Chain A
Amino acid sequence: MLWNVTTAEYLNSGHMACPGCGASLSMRHALKVLGEETIVVLPACCWSIIAGGFPTTALSVPLLHVPFATAAACASGVRRALLSRGREEVTVMAWAGDGGTFDIGLQALSGAAERREDFLYVCYDNEAYMNTGIQQSSATPAGAWTTTTPAGKEFAYGKKDILEILRAHRPAYLVTATIACPEDFLAKFAAARKRRGFRFIHLLSPCPPGWKIDSRDSLAVTRLAVDSGVFPLVEMDDGGRLRLTCEPAHPVPVADYLRAQGRFRTVRDEDLEPLQRRVDERLESFR
């Protein structure tokens, strides 16, 4: 795919993301595709901080910071009012972390999807409550250390399958993406912008302090998530089935992804085989 991205910037310098943060890079490129006619609705999450405070607000598009549980509800109100005022061309994007999507925001998300609200919901998933100091969320994967899973998250729990939950709502558009695979990422935001109805993009978003990786390895480690099949890049087709949009470019074992991160250090070698099997089966189901 040709690298054809505008040089315009809607995320400006002076933002407050940590070095190597996937969420800041993701927002930067998402807005390059969506353009300046975009309103961002943001619940409590890392991005509440990243966006900075007036007059150093890092986004040059309008931003509505809202209570933790309410991204999809507030975005619903914004979109309906815009439509009633004839402003259909404006993109409304709810932009929430995994806690605000998988946990406290799930009820509002389900409600908006069921009502077929016409906005784009993006979950940038860094797999724990990073902003409050790395507590587990239901997006935290099995085996991962957090401050509330001091011995690693139990294998019985694993990561909540948000894709299947959203798929059951039959949204207008449903994909996964990550800024570590930018061509796929940009194509999906471009497609999402053109659609109407409820659209959901699930982003895997690396967090160096939470994942216990070096900030310079942020994208390389996230690419391992895709190449190992832990985070498949998928799209829901017209029949409601999830299909791979990209095969892993350089397939690697799951162990390579886990061992690249400090948060999985309590995962034993004998735990790897069942994890590998789970990942392989899921990946195959998307082919």
Chain B
Amino acid sequence: MSGHEPAIMPPGNYYLTGNEALAEGAIAAGCRFYAGYPITPSSEIMERMAARLDEIDGGVFMQMEDEIASICAVIGAVWAGARGMTATSGPGFSLMQEAIGYAAITETPLVIADIQRAGPGTGQATKVGGGDLMQAKWGSHGDYTPIAMCPWSVQEMYDLTIRAFNLAETWRVPVFVMGEEAVGHLKEGLTVDAPPAVINHREEKGATPFGHELPDGVPPMPAFGEGEKLLITGSTHDHRGFRKTDDPAVQAQLTGRINDKIMNHRDEIVDTEAHAVDDADIVVVACGFTARSVLYAIETLRTEGLKVGLLRLKTIWPFPDDIIRTVCGSGRKILVPEMNRGQMAGEVMKYAGGDVIPLNRTDGRIIHPHLIMETIRGIA
């Protein structure tokens, strides 16, 4: 830890891969703790963090023995006052699921980058996939509500990772950056502005760390060694952290609050971007790398006179139900292209008034614009 290098990349234009930009975004957001385990196609995040955290005062890089150890080291570090992240891909994300539930019930803010590859199982380790979206929502047992980002560019691998840390700290919740191999290994321009606003979790002397006066509130969070009496458990606990595994009221209150604190504030969390949807007969709902193909497709089809638009989800969890209701109303056709067997389309169907048409590709390739254009011409 020489401390000679500036911690955050100075403002300017850079040419990086998505995985490198994600690591830089984490550092810009104040992440100084990384624990991880090699897995394609995410390993470059770990490699970048190994080199960068070595240069930064107070930076800690740990290579762990597996993904369970990786996320659990981050959980430990966060309670010791650090801001931490790990990164992985499908099989490693699967191994992390128990600890993700633990982080949710203990309200531990942390960021997990899942650079998705084609699954299930070992699948295609070096090929792109988008099949972890439902796992991000439902992967651990029980009821909890995580937040998940869907970057579509190298710029967003940087920007949305910063936002992921800020959301994790604001809502005391695990936040996922659901990159895909195609954006992780994509190399393109990145513009870094002035250092971003970094949000810290709320601290309050003497406050109880697991309860709040508001039923959907986020309690303040102390760290070890700050003079607070801290007891942290993955079992059902009351506002002080005491185990109350026999008390139905405490269990109901706790599971209610850790879900409501996200769902009741989803307007502040959900982020979408609309392109040419106002007069559209056909709306394409997409996220991540696929939305790049869609944007090209709708711009091309507009020149042919087809009224098509794109609704891009920059966050997928919590799901933007109200926006889907508004943009995907009856009378419109809704196309949902995705690199899985219809995980997002099913969610869109819950809220859309119009006909929802899935377009799925699960052969380890991206969905090319021509396939989207062909499909749209077929349904127009």
Contact = CB atoms under 8 A, between A and B. Distances in A.
Question: Do A and B assemble together?
Answer: yes
Contact of A67 (B38, B43, B65, B91): B91
Contacts of A151: 54
Contacts of B40: 132-133
B54 A136 contact: no
Contacts of A103: 37, 65-66
Interface in A135-150: 135-136, 138, 147-150
Nearest to A135: B38
A106 B65 contact: yes
Given A48-B122, A67-B122, A149 B66 contact: no
Contacts of A138: 65
A198 interface: no
A148 B54 contact: no
Nearest to A153: B63
A136 B37 CA distance: 10
A104 interface: yes
Interface residues of A, number: 22
A133 B38 contact: yes
Nearest to B67: A104
A65 B122 contact: yes
Given A69-B95, A133-B43, A150 B66 contact: no
A150 B95 contact: no
B37 A104 contact: yes
A4 to B, nearest CB: 38
Nearest to B49: A148
A150 B50 contact: yes
B43 A132 contact: yes
B39 A132 contact: yes
B46 interface: yes
A148 B50 contact: yes
Given A129-B38, A147-B50, A151-B54, A135 B63 contact: yes
A44, A48, A68: residue with the most chain B Cβ atoms closer than 10 Å:
A68
A28 B323 CA distance: 60
B51 interface: yes
Nearest to B43: A132
B251 to A, nearest CB: 31
B54 to A, nearest CB: 7
B47 A135 contact: yes
Contact of B47 (A68, A102, A148): A148
A147 B95 contact: no
A24 B195 CA distance: 50
Contacts of A106: 65
A136 B63 contact: yes
Contacts of B66: 68-69, 103-104
B43 A135 contact: yes
Contacts of A135: 38, 43, 46-47, 63
Interface in B48-76: 50-51, 54, 61, 63, 65-67
Contacts of B91: 44, 67-68
A107 to B, nearest CB: 9
Contacts of A99: 38
B38 to A, nearest CB: 4
Contacts of B121: 67
Interface string A52-89: 00000000000001011100000000000000000000
Contacts of B37: 103-104
A202 B67 CA distance: 24
Nearest to A66: B122
Interface in A118-161: 129, 132-133, 135-136, 138, 147-151
Contacts of A67: 91, 121-122
A106 B68 CA distance: 13
Contacts of B51: 150
A69 B37 CA distance: 12
A104 B54 CA distance: 25
Interface in B75-123: 91, 95, 121-122
Contacts of A68: 66, 91
Given A48-B122, A147-B50, A150-B54, A104 B65 contact: yes
Given A132-B38, A138-B65, 7 more contacts: A65-B122, A68-B91, A135-B38, A148-B50, A150-B50, A150-B51, A151-B54
Interface of A: 44, 48, 65, 67-69, 99, 102-104, 106, 129, 132-133, 135-136, 138, 147-151
Would you list the 4 A-B pairs with minimal beta carbon distance, nearest first? Answer: A104-B66, A103-B65, A135-B38, A132-B38
10 contacts: A65-B122, A67-B91, A103-B66, A106-B65, A133-B38, A135-B47, A147-B43, A148-B38, A148-B47, A148-B50
